Amino acid sequence: MRVLGVDPGLTRCGVGVVEGAAGRPLTMRGVGVVRTPADAELGSRLVAIEEGIEHWLDAHSPEVLAVERVFSQHNVRTVMGTAQASAVAMLCASRRGIPVALHTPSEVKAAVTGSGRADKAQVGAMVTRLLRLDAPPKPADAADALALAICHIWRAPAQNRLQQAQALHARKGRTA
């Protein structure tokens, strides 16, 4: 499975592509950051993010897009920018028929480090180890994007089995 992880943000939108399967070694196919100037008009920034995501989709042909689920923060302006960048990434993938998966920050941290309360340095260190890199990807947004992709690869099989079991249960309930 090839997954494009997106750590959404208006100024720095982390992107990372990981390929592999649960229980097997993972391979990083690409990592980077889509940047926009903080003083640019919002519409221009969103277009730049769209162009950046489209470039990554063209270059890497992912099977799934894994995006960090936006959660409530105290700074409403930060939440809005994150949500807008997230929506652009989801739109780009959905337009191409690429499934989108959302993962919370604590879910990603727990999957990659074993603790949902891990800090950015711990996430970067584990991403480096899991992908057999020479150094942690910089900035942290890039490492977080890779962590999102890793989380999805590892959790997707269990999530798929759960969805299949729920669908089977629902069908049996209708025929009973």
Residues taking part in catalysis = 7, 68, 141
Which residue type sits at 7? D
Contacts of 72 (CB under 8 A, 6+ apart): 79
DSSP 67: E
Report yes or no: 108 and 148 within 8 Å, Cβ to Cβ. yes
Distances (CA, A) of 134 to 127, 128, 138, 164: 11, 7, 12, 39
